[in-house]
Amino acid sequence: MNRNNIPIYLSLATVFGILIGVFINGNNAGFSLNSNTKNEAKIRRLMDYIDQNYVDTINTTNLLDSAISEMIGKLDPHSAYIPKEDLQDIQDRMQGKFVGVGIQFRLINDSVTVIEPIKGGPSIKAGIKAGDRIIKADKDTLSGKNLSANDIPLFLKGTSGSDITLQVYRKTNDSLFNLRVTRGDVNIKSVDLSYMINDHIGYIKLDRFARNTYREFTTALTKLTNLGMDDLVLDLRGNGGGFIDIANSIVDEFLEDDALIVFTKNNKGQIEEYFATKDGAFEKGKLYVLIDENSASASEIVAGALQDNDKGTIIGRRSFGKGLVQVEMELGDGSAVRLTTARYYTPTGRSIQKPYTRNGDVNYSRDYQKRMLSGELLYRDSIQINDALRYKTPKGKYVYGGGGIIPDIFVGIDTTGYLNNFLFNSITNFSFDYVDKNRKALNTLWTLDLFLANFDKDNSILESYLELIPKATQTYYRNDRIAIKAKIKTYVKATIAREIFGDEGFYRSIQKDDAMLQKVLELDASIE
């Protein structure tokens, strides 16, 4: 047997395995096991040959996993194999919750440092605070072990209702003590934040479309309405998608009854349509939707549905371009495959899926670089439009298929204040250290509004940061790049605000430098 052909043979074997999984889970009623008995026998014989005769000891499970991944990778860019060791974490994220102690943490100087206990989670109930160092989890020492960030959850997660004893060092009073935490459900928030930009414009940022997203969204919408919101900014930048039904439910809050939201078409030509079904909570006010090159899938369903129904204004840059629908199918051993089963179309009938090949298209994953080099992320005129894929909305606006949602109003990426990874990381570390050393005073002295108005007016904190970076870098940012220095100051202030006030502090700090939000305010002023 040619050793180099083994992955090929195993790739054939996975076809059978996937079909079995689909059949068992009822996702493909048309599959007949009897028609594949010859393939089954062939594959079993191959596996016996490998087990009994192959010259080296080999882990056939790992080999099979690799073969499955290779085969699925040749279908389309979004079908994917999920090994059993990864499946639970992925499902937890999409369900919007997991079982654990509930902390946001960062490894600082090889110590597990609590950035923030998650609201409503077990740790906050047990008394863990921001800045606490977790030294031990039961009998396992976590400090000084050269652990990675991915290792830490393995020590903290467990079954719901189980107890874990954490040894905690609290810097604010220089104390070392034990806390007993009962593990439980921890919410993974989908609404990153919601707040009032001014006296009549509300802002909601959605991170994903998980099972808890619609509930969180409507809660935020109600809160802002009670605060006097007339108009809304829905921020979908960086939102990679999620469940199509959750996206539809959110769109339903904006569209009138019976408006078409989206439709899907499978390989048999079967069409399934989704319509607005009830009175929405926000059908009358002005709506601004922010998108960028990382807004994908369910985000594009939302933006496309609103654009095609002439609802709201889409602001930003062309979205990712994912118009494929996946269904998760279990393979019987704890692993699963997310298989593309349909394409979705916006109400005007356009597919926004960008081109791809079925043989591992490298260019597909390099689309961002392509957009940057072509100038598309900087200039609207650089967006390539296919006139053959032009559609018209009910009010006569032209929209285009073939690759993402093209915004109504273009806002180019900001290159004047580009910060590299070194600066981002060093600013983040500086901000945490600053807050960690001054936590009591900062919590006492500042409200968020006072902080935004008055913090670091004399640039002393900025200069303290610049003193910590290499001399050559100091000179560069002090003297030669005024715009970048201003960006550094904004980001230093914003990251300190995040440490004290959470995500709202961060986003409100950078709002004045957010070109898309400034465009919203500009449009709002012109309408007044």
User: CA-to-CA distance for 41 and 63, rounded, in angstroms?
Assistant: 19
9 is written with which tokens? 């043979």
Q: Is 312 left (phi over 0), alpha (psi -120 to 50) or beta?
A: left
Nearest to 238 by CA among 204, 193, 207: 207
Out of 189, 322, 354, 519, the active site residue is 322
Out of 194, 249, 295, 297, the active site residue is 297
User: CA-to-CA distance for 61 and 237, rounded, in angstroms?
Assistant: 39
3-state class of 451 per DSSP?
helix
User: CA-to-CA distance for 270 and 255, rounded, in angstroms?
Assistant: 25
What's at 290, amino acid-wise? L
101 is written with which tokens? 């102690």
Nearest to 160 by CA among 209, 212, 92: 92
Q: Are 101 and 181 in contact (CB under 8 A)?
A: yes
What's at 192, amino acid-wise? D
First to last CA, the chain: 77
40 is written with which tokens? 């089954």
Nearest to 340 by CA among 134, 76, 130, 14: 76
Which string of DSSP letters, residue by residue, matches 36-70? GHHHHHHHHHHHHHHHHH-SS---HHHHHHHHHHH
Out of 252, 308, 367, 514, the active site residue is 308
- Annotated active-site residue 297? The verdict is yes
Which string of DSSP letters, residue by residue, matches 341-398? EEEEE-TTS---PPP--TTT-HHHHTHHHHHHHHTTTT-GGGS---GGGEEE-TTS-E
Q: Indicate which residues carry an active-site annotation.
A: 297, 308, 322
